[in-house]
Amino acid sequence: SNLYETILAEIVDDGRVGIITINRPEVLNALSTQVMDELADVLQELDADPRVKAIILTGSGKKAFAAGADIKEMRDQEFVTAYLGRLLSGYERATSECRTPIIAAVNGYALGGGCELAMMCDIILAGENAVFGQPETNLGVIPGMGGTQRLIRAVGKSRAMEMILSGAHFIDAEEAVSRGLASRVITGGPEKLIEAAIDLAKQIARLSGPVVAMAKEAVNSANDLGLSEGVKKENLFFSACFGLYDQKEGMSAFLEKRKARFENR
């Protein structure tokens, strides 16, 4: 439904792919509390819709995915309102508990909270003009939506420290891919970027929903669990796959040299 004011939500590919667009191009899609609340709501709504098998998150306009948390809104916050009000910190669950894969299509600036939001997604596709950075220290704060934890995992300690401590030395699309922060650079402008994201989403969407969800949860476990615990969790999910109709269908289809028809069960 589109009761949202700061985001656009649409569904394509016969209901299988959701596209969420942060829609405040006049402020480079700055992430106000309203944006983040609406984002959390729409993610929950799409994740609860059994038809939706993949979600794309992008920013409107040609310049930005999101240029950070909304500085205008943040300026007058105090410690108590930020801490007890959980300023911009309640959104971990919206992305990590979302079982549907989320693809970030990053066109232009992904700075501060924008970079952090992109890193909360499962896959980042970078437009050729993508710029990733954590400039918070310039404003007298530190990253507050997971940047100190996720950037180090994505680009390593030295590069993450350089970016976060200096508030400068941003990462372009090519470097993002070479370091593993993004999976691919998509050239040809924002339309091509969205096309590529939809293609990827459609590829995921034709697979078994529960299998993809278990794969996502298993991969994400690598951030929280040690190797042997993570491998155990993987093995449990792997074993669980054999309880699915879709496993029988997938393997039968291969052996019968036909296309699998997954039923999400």
Rule CB under 6 A: which residues touch ligand HXC?
27-28, 30, 67-72, 87-88, 109, 111-113, 135-136, 139, 143-145
Helix (H), strand (E) at residue 64: strand 64-66
Specify the residue, 143 or 210, whose C-beta has the smaller distance to ligand HXC: 143
- The active-site residue out of 30, 54, 64, 69 is 69
Which pair of tokens denotes residue 135? 């400039």
Residue 33 or residue 247: which is nearer to ligand HXC going by CB? Answer: 33
Q: How far is the CB of 71 from ligand HXC (least distance, A)?
A: 4
β-partners of residue 171 are: 132
68, 116, 154, 173: the catalytic one is 116
Smallest separation (angstroms) from ligand HXC to the CB of 164 = 11
Q: Which is nearer to ligand HXC, 116 or 246 (CB)?
A: 116
Query: Is 162 tagged catalytic?
Result: no
- How far CA 251 is from CA of 72, 208, 236, 245, in Å, comes to 55, 12, 19, 10
Per the annotation, the verdict on 230 as an active-site residue is no
CA distances from 170 to 167, 176, 208, 262 (A): 8, 10, 38, 42
Indicate if 116 belongs to the active site: yes
How far is C-alpha 27 from the chain's CA centre? 21
Of the two residues 70 and 234, which places its CB atom closer to ligand HXC in the complex? 70
Q: Catalytic site residue 110? A: no
CB 6, CB 35: distance < 8 Å: yes
Q: How far is the CB of 94 from ligand HXC (least distance, A)?
A: 14
Distance in Å, CB of 114 to ligand HXC, minimum: 7
Q: 132 and 115 in contact (C-beta within 8 Å)?
A: yes
Residue 102: HSE in the Cβ half-sphere, 13 Å Cα cutoff: 27
Residues that are catalytic: 69, 113, 116, 136
